[in-house]
Chains A and B, each alone.
Chain A
Amino acid sequence: MRDFLIIYVNGRRHEVRGRRAFQSLSHFLRYDLGLIGTKVVCAEGDCGSCTVFVGRHEGDKLTYRTVTSCIQFLYQLDCTHIVTIEGLKYDGQLNPVQQAMVKCQGSQCGFCTPGIVVSMCAMFEKKRDVNADDLRGALVGNLCRCTGYDSIVKSGLAVDTTTLRRLDDLYPPDAIVSDLIKTAGESVRVTDQKTFFKAVTIDEAARFRAENPDCMIISGGTDVGVQMNKCLRDPRSILSLAGMQALRGIEVKDDAIVAGANATIAEMEAFTRDVLPEYSRLLYYFGSPPIKNAATIGGNVGNGSPIADSIPAIYAMNGEVELVGTSGSRRVNIHDYYTGYKKTVQKPDELIARVIIPLPKAGETLKLYKISRRKDLDISAFTAAIWMRHRGNSIDDVRIVYGGVAANILRLRQTEDFLRGQAFTLSNLQHAGKIARSEVKPISDVRGSADYRLQLGENILTKFFIDVSGTTSGNGNGWNDGNGNGNGNGHSVDPTLEGIAGEVH
């Protein structure tokens, strides 16, 4: 067991001890190391000005992902290599992204610029041949108030990709990795008024949890990081699962996705692109790349927000949560997992080990909806997941799940009861919408009014019909394909759509 953290920054090794180990990464960079290029603007991971690379070793490789350093704490980052804006030059010269940003006026006041350069470099790590849409997507988590993004996108398109070098080229991984392989197997415990414990095995994590039932569990930290920065939370003891290998990995087993709790949303999005594209599409809009790189499926489920984007699909597919404790493991159906607002059946020594999401079979459809004021980077006002099994033209079975309409994610049993056995027609779905409306009890808040949510609760079933059938005619003879790949956005359907959501106030 170590009592200090090992963190590499721009190729240099640092040992961090005592109170300093509890800092945010951005604070450590700016004040301990004087790396002022990393800016803090919102302190909530919303603006991307503090974006840096975090390299974690996977086997003998270092894999780099961007994170927002304002909501990453050092105890999440043991045995990593951080690369900041200051570490991206090539032999003291501007790299091709930086050159293009100068040449094309990609910077105005310049406060967002370092974060934008890092995000753009991250995109080029993955992909060299990029278009304007790729750039806008890569920069969705980087706010700029001056340039209008236009010159930034033009800078990205003007990058001389032939001279780009990879981070592995700038920072040969061998020396770093061999050190990290040696040290990554060590758990870390630091006490300085507060205590944190970085667990390496599930066993020791469960033991720490049992001994410290009030401890805050952190992995990606995208939610608790915000709460701590807002001083809404000041835990005395912290259990860090970040990077724990035993909780990683995603596979398909027995016709279900089995995801380790530490699987990030970015990994889930990539993995489900082929096996459950509807889920992948939803996760695309989950957040910005740095947020998706940090946030984990286990964290999203364990946090249990009623508007969490990843959860309704698990309900609709009748998924399970695998819990591990000091006395072994058990699987709990997602419907039995939550007991109240952010309350679960988890025992004091238990941790989420895996999340299991059964895949739709032939003849089954899953559609997922995320409604927010704008498409990108917005917490949902309303979410829905609808799973349906059909026999001929009738509905054999259905599960309807809404988020954002109650303290917990809500299963609409009465609406389901009505639909089961009915013909799959527009009028039946419209009627189901009326029942759904009576079944939900939303509140008004900053993300949307109760009326708006009630209306969405009603409209979404009609939208489901149109998406799945590709028609607004009442006959409903048209399941598109069994996998929910209907026409998706409903945009090119029919002018009669115009009135669907027309009575929202």
Chain B
Amino acid sequence: MAEKTTTEAPAAAPTEKPPVPQAALPKNGAEKPKTDTQTYPVGIAGVKIEEEERKVPATEAPPLPINEKLAVIGKPTPRVDGRAKVTGAAKYSADINLPGMLFAKLITSTVPHAIIKSIDTSAAEKHPAFRAIHMLDRDRSAAQTEEEKKDNWPRVRYVGQPLGAVCAPTQAHADDIARLVKITYEQKPFVVDPDKAKEPNAPIIFQGNAEQAGTAGGGGGPKDVKQNGNVRGPVAKGEADKAEIAFNSADVTVELDFRTQVQTHCALETHGLVADWKPDMLTVWASTQGTSSVRDELAAVFNLKKSQVRVITEYMGGGFGAKFGAGNYGVLATHLSKKANAPVRLMLDRREEHLCVGNRPSSIQKLKIGAKKDGTLVAMRLQSYGTAGVGTGAGASGPTQNLYTCPAIYTEDSDVFTNAGPSSAFRAPGHPQGAFSLEQGIDSLAEKLKMDPLALRDKIDDSEARREERRIGAERIGWKDRKPAGSDAGPIKRGIGVAQAIWYRIMNRDSHCDVRITQDGSVEFLSGVQDIGTGIRTALAQIVAETLGLKPTDITVKIGDTNYPQGPNSGGSVTTNSISPVARNAAWAAREQFLGQVAPALGVSADELEMADGRVFPKNNPNQSLTFKQAAKKMKVEQVAARGDRSDDYESKKGPRGKGAGGLGGVQFCQVAVDTSTGHIKVEKVVAVHDCGRPINPMGVKSQVNGGVIQGISYALFENRILDRNTGVMVNTNLEQYKIAGSREMPEIDAQLIEQYWGKSSTDAAGIGEPATVATAACVANAVYNAIGVRITQIPMTPAVVLEALASKQKASA
């Protein structure tokens, strides 16, 4: 690995080191970019950067040099909304309290599988505090069949399914009134265990083909998949025959079974919103990852113009994939607001949050890998079943399909319907599950081949980013001192492990913004895009500041409101990739207008002006400068404004799909200590080396990497939705029995970033939220194997699971 660090001198970068950031842009930087050919840095900073030409639309801002040549972008920047957050002033949707606002409470099912025979609301309606009730005609978050769309009431398919809601002047009254609604059920047999649900005589959950809407929490698997009993699938990719033939040519094969559990999102702010229905306008304060997704769904349901629905998300307390669309709660709150003629707040409680607004599906995976003696992969096959409850999309084959070079890959993904809450998108859907199997499989293969796990990955992984990430991580974790598996003496055994991530460079062209500069020197950025906690607000301020030679705190970022230009929804790590080039383009266009306005005052033409360090000055005479504020006063109009749009990704050399240039990487290493007397695993250190194209704010990116790591550790060791198979009831609908990692479970986390440039957009930035959590559980499992010499193929790796694995090893060796 070490010899691979051929580093091109920075001279190879597209520009000489500039005295001020903008001055040294390629020649056309100062001119209107009429030409459609531009030169972009491509490669990994510190390894190799080359210049490549791209044909780009004329409206694009000129190329940026690599981060070390920039003033604001790429510099660690404290979040611009930090003050609001640390003082408690930041107002989340849960904090909205309007005059006359009513509080709503869901009415949820108490049985796991039933047809509703009758609903008696009379007692509820007699309650003095009763204001309105609305019952749903269907479960908007779950899959459903064509046939049942005609029903008056939803089919009940799990305990805790939303059926309706009531509202009252206080939450306590609403809670009381909701309990007064009497529902008569015709109960049907049910099944919550996916192994049982797969059996031919299991109770059938959907009579007929069932589909989950794409807006349902961002979830929903592929459409039009064949269904047999409760099994929906398989969705096959690749050629089964080809893989079987290829396995015959393998020198070595490994076959392993894996199981992963259902994980719930546990965002601290629950799902919910405040809906304020007025005859000409519906205004909604929603805790959402997609302001426009809420607007669109409510407009459709209530037959409104999209211009009549305004959705606001100023601050948002976490979503992790589950918060898209209006949801059952949003539709209910809007109905209640309309009926009661008052604003209605419907925020779920913690129990409802666990039950009815999404989760990461479980998986039961069978993996086979075949390789030549030198490690070259010849075939891989993955068969995966998972339950998304009454939802779809439990596939786990992403990593097997996309991570490594292999000529014959065959995968089958099947959903198993169970009487449990529907899944939704959850931080890298399918990938932590898929990496848990694949990366343990690759480690097993390395052991069988007597190869170092990193050397094997060097052989079979063609991603330049991950190659560099392995090199950096190996050095920082102390890989060379790694001991043979299970070789520690004493009851506490330590081990080191590695696992890799893959995610995709996805973007949404429906991403727009305005940048305005006003005579008083204020600069505004406006877009519907929402900050779900990741820090896009700060990144956008940085990009505008860089372009205008200002500081991030000089920029007022107004986002999270559908009154502003359409922004992208935040899912799939698309946000930065989608909106940051838009911000750059708009800021550049605003800059050109601004300089055109102020140039006469400086007695030069606009293209002779430069902006840096808060000043505007002629390039050839930096001493004759105005502060930005002084310059703004010289504008002949009160305000200049420019619109930014997302062009398609620039054309560039494409590697094989998902491999190398097309995808995002990430390699994680960790050290664990396993107490073999109690079965407790302690993750002591994690080195997480990641790439996200051009990092805009390394501070924000590293914070997201840390967050991905802790969710991964929590997934690997603690979290588990537990359903009582006798009643269908989830027994740990809280944060006491549903464990998420706390401060003392956290290891030392060493987050490292590489800068990788593709020349794909005017910022060349991509996302980090998803890749950061893909590898962690697999990494912990590989480290546990290195510690105790027993491969644990199921999560969560609780003390009981670890002790059982140790015992079975002892039995086997006895």
Contact = CB atoms under 8 A, between A and B. Distances in A.
Interface in B629-684: 675-680
Interface stretch (B77-85, B572-580, B584-592): B77-85
Contacts of B87: 37, 85-86, 89, 94, 98
A436 B806 CA distance: 24
A1 interface: no
A490 B677 contact: yes
Interface string B788-814: 000000000011100110110010000
Interface string B725-747: 00000011011110110111110
Interface string A143-159: 11111111111000000
Interface in A34-48: 34-44, 46-47
A110 interface: yes
Interface residues of A, number: 86
Count chain A CB atoms within 10 A of each CB in B82, B88, B732, B800 and give the residue with the most: B88
A505 B800 CA distance: 6
A41 B85 contact: no
Nearest to B101: A31
A143 B268 contact: yes
A145 B749 contact: no
Contacts of B94: 39-40
Contacts of B700: 105
A49 interface: yes
A102 B533 contact: no
Contacts of A104: 78
Interface stretch (B128-136, B398-406, B428-436, B489-497): B489-497
Interface string A342-379: 00000000000000000000000000000101111111
Contact of A108 (B270, B707, B804): B707
A55 interface: no
A448 B800 contact: yes
A336 B519 CA distance: 82
A113 interface: yes
Interface string A436-470: 00000000001111001000000000010000000
Contact of A43 (B317, B350, B675): B350
A42 B734 CA distance: 7
A379 B738 CA distance: 12
Given A39-B268, A86-B88, A499 B78 contact: no
A29 to B, nearest CB: 10
Most chain B CB within a 10 A radius of its CB, from A41, A105, A113, A503: A105
A101 interface: yes
A392 interface: no
B350 A41 contact: yes
Interface string A97-121: 1100111111111111110010000
B483 interface: no
A491 B491 contact: yes
B807 A495 contact: no
Contact of A102 (B82, B490, B532, B722): B82
A113 B92 CA distance: 13
B804 A111 contact: no
B746 A34 contact: no
Interface in B707-726: 707-711, 717-718, 722
Contacts of B705: 148
A145 B318 contact: yes
Interface in B94-115: 94-95, 97
Contacts of A98: 83, 86-87
Given A145-B266, A145-B707, A148-B706, A140 B803 contact: no
Contact of A502 (B269, B489, B749, B803): B803
A498 interface: yes
B545 to A, nearest CB: 18
Contacts of B676: 497-498
A262 interface: no
A111 B95 CA distance: 11
A276 B665 CA distance: 53
A500 interface: yes
B736 A44 contact: yes
A313 B792 CA distance: 37
A152 B86 CA distance: 12
A492 interface: yes
Nearest to B531: A109
Most central of A89, A149, A448, A503 by chain B CB within 10 Å: A149
A231 interface: yes
Interface string B193-216: 000000000000000000000000
B240 interface: no
Contacts of A374: 680, 717-718, 739, 745
Contacts of B734: 42, 44, 46
Interface of chain A: mostly helix, strand, loop or mixed? loop
Contacts of A137: 743-744
Nearest to B316: A109
B238 to A, nearest CB: 36
B89 interface: yes
Contacts of A378: 739
Nearest to A86: B88
A504 interface: yes
Residue from B86, B316, B318, B350 whose CB has the most chain A CB atoms within 10 Å = B86
Contacts of B736: 42, 44, 46, 379
Interface in A79-100: 84-86, 89, 94, 97-98
A46 B740 CA distance: 11
A504 B318 contact: no
Contact of A101 (B82, B92, B718): B82
B703 A375 contact: no
B267 to A, nearest CB: 6
Given A102-B82, A105-B699, A109-B268, A504 B803 contact: yes
Interface string A230-244: 010000000000000
A135 interface: yes
A32 to B, nearest CB: 11
Interface string B343-359: 00000011000000000
Interface in A297-330: none
A501 interface: yes
A97 B708 CA distance: 25
A377 B677 contact: no
B91 interface: yes
A42 B800 CA distance: 27
Nearest to B708: A148
Contacts of B707: 108, 145-148
A493 interface: yes
B735 A46 contact: yes
Contacts of A34: 97
A101 B86 contact: yes
Nearest to B699: A105
B89 A37 contact: yes
B613 interface: no
A263 interface: no
A57 B703 CA distance: 41
A136 interface: yes
Interface string B281-320: 0000000000000000000000000000000000111101
Contacts of B807: 502-504
B175 interface: yes
Contacts of B179: 231
Given A145-B268, A373-B799, A495 B85 contact: no
B743 A140 contact: yes
9 contacts: A30-B97, A39-B268, A94-B86, A135-B743, A148-B709, A148-B710, A231-B179, A446-B731, A491-B675
Given A46-B734, A113-B86, A144-B743, 20 more contacts: A30-B97, A36-B97, A42-B350, A42-B734, A43-B349, A101-B82, A108-B533, A142-B743, A144-B268, A145-B268, A147-B710, A148-B746, A150-B749, A151-B703, A446-B722, A446-B731, A497-B491, A498-B806, A501-B679, A505-B800
In the A-B complex, list the 4 residue pairs whose CB atoms are closest, starting with the nearest: A37-B88, A109-B533, A148-B706, A111-B317
